[in-house]
Amino acid sequence: MNRSSFFLLVAVVLGLFLLTAGCLQAQSGPITPVTGAATPSPEVTSPSTPDIVGVWTGTSSGHIKTVGFRESAAHRYTITAQNGSAFTGYKEYTKADGVRYSENFSGVITSDGEISIIDHDDGSALGEFIGQDEIELRYIENEDTAVALLFHLKREKN
């Protein structure tokens, strides 16, 4: 065997060795079969923003510095307009004095369904969907009035 044939044979053997070495590495963890295309992760495919325009009514419970513990079934959030994740509307409620009040608000919905609302006068709420047509809001007002309420609201059907 001449010298050039010997080097060619060594090169082929070495190439085959290197080619098969990657296929024979030890695997850590269980072996999972490859089946079809990869499934995208939830972070890649975010849900579209839900349409929340409408009337939402429900109950609240919590504590108010000037009143004490309070429960009420007379809350109404009306969302009048929505543009993508932003929305606006007004809320109606009865205070401890028996008078019915109304306040405007602005809000947004995050891509994972969290709701943030800021009153045009005072206070804010954070919440999320707890059902298709049901939301829970945690409402907080400033230190002067010290209001902390939990709202359970359901969308009224037309």
pTM score: 0.67
Per-residue pLDDT tens digits for 64-80: 998 899 998 789 999 99
Averaged pLDDT score across all residues of the chain: 77
Structural contact between residues 93 and 78, judged by C-beta atoms closer than 8 angstroms: no
The token duo for 99 is 């008078």
For domain 54-155, the CATH class is mainly beta
Provide the pLDDT confidence category of residue 37 given band limits of 50, 70 and 90. very low
Q: How far apart are CA 158 and CA 143, in angstroms?
A: 39
Q: How many CB atoms lie within 10 A of CB 93?
A: 17
Which contacts (CB < 8 Å, 24+ apart) does range 94-99 have? 96/64, 96/67, 96/70
- Least confident piece of the model among 2-16, 43-57, 110-124, 134-148: 2-16
Q: What secondary structure letter does DSSP report for 111?
A: T
Q: Return the exposure string of 36-59: e unless at least 16 CB atoms fall within 10 Å of the residue's CB, then b.
A: eeeeeeeeeeeeebeebebbbbbe
Provide the pLDDT confidence category of residue 47 given band limits of 50, 70 and 90. low
Structural contact between residues 49 and 38, judged by C-beta atoms closer than 8 angstroms: no
SS3 140: strand
The residue whose two tokens read 């009514």 is 57
For 131, half-sphere exposure in the C-beta direction (CA atoms, 13 angstrom radius) is 7
Q: What secondary structure letter does DSSP report for 123?
A: -
Q: Where are the domains of the chain?
A: 54-155
Question: First and final CA of the chain: distance in angstroms?
Answer: 93
